[in-house]
């Protein structure tokens, strides 16, 4: 961000709590539209918002390099952040970010098969129940 911008405490048209946030005029990295970005702190670093909306933020997720960790494919966004591909696909289909309490289950058990028809979004408890029942059935069939 250029230093010529002067932070404002509440820009016109912005509603809600803004007491502790400072806003700046910025341009969205995805669509190029101007918007009011707010300042946030992550890991001790101050950074400004880069996207005007959740939709533009999700459009920014592209596969720079597909890596595999624990059997899952990982996507990189602009070379910085990393996310599991199945979670990015689930978020894109839902149109919102997944909650911490939500898990993405591969129905056929293949961790690299990330078709949206193969992904099931469920709670932590249901996901644990699924794995316990699958393990029981596997043991009954094979032992």
Q: Which domain holds residue 101?
A: 60-142
pLDDT > 80? residue 117: yes
Total domains in the chain come to 2
- pLDDT (0 to 100) of residue 6: 52
User: How far is C-alpha 138 from the chain's CA centre?
Assistant: 33
73 and 133 share a domain? yes
pLDDT digits (tens, 9 = 90+) for 85-98: 899 899 989 989 89
- pLDDT (0 to 100) of residue 64: 45
Q: Which residue has the higher pLDDT, 17 or 38?
A: 38
22 and 68 share a domain? no
32 and 70 share a domain? no
Share of the chain above pLDDT 70, in %: 71
pLDDT > 80? residue 116: yes
**Domain limit, last residue, from 33, 53, 73:** 53
Opening angle at CA 79, ends 23 and 40, nearest 5: 20
69 and 109 share a domain? yes
33 and 66 share a domain? no
26 and 78 share a domain? no
25 and 95 share a domain? no
129 and 65 share a domain? yes
With contact defined as beta carbons under 8 Å apart, do 41 and 24 qualify?
no
107 and 44 share a domain? no
* pTM (predicted TM-score): 0.51
Assign 55 a pLDDT band (cuts: 50, 70, 90).
confident
Average pLDDT, the chain: 76
43 and 75 share a domain? no
- pLDDT (0 to 100) of residue 123: 93
- pLDDT (0 to 100) of residue 108: 86
- Residue that the structure tokens 């970005």 belong to: 37
């Amino acid at each position: 961000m250029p230093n010529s911008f002067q932070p404002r405490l509440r820009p016109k048209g912005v509603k809600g709590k803004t007491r502790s946030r400072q806003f700046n005029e910025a341009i969205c990295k995805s669509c190029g539209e101007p918007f009011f970005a707010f300042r946030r702190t992550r890991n001790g670093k101050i950074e400004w918002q880069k996207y005007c909306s959740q939709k533009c933020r999700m459009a920014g997720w592209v596969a720079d390099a597909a890596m595999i960790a624990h059997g899952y494919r990982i996507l990189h966004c602009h070379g910085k952040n990393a996310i599991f591909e199945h979670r990015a696909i689930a978020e894109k289909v839902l149109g919102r970010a997944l909650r911490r309490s939500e898990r993405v289950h591969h129905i056929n058990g293949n961790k690299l098969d990330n078709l949206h028809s193969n992904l099931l979004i469920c709670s932590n408890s249901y996901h644990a129940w699924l794995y316990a029942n699958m393990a029981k059935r596997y043991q009954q069939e094979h032992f």
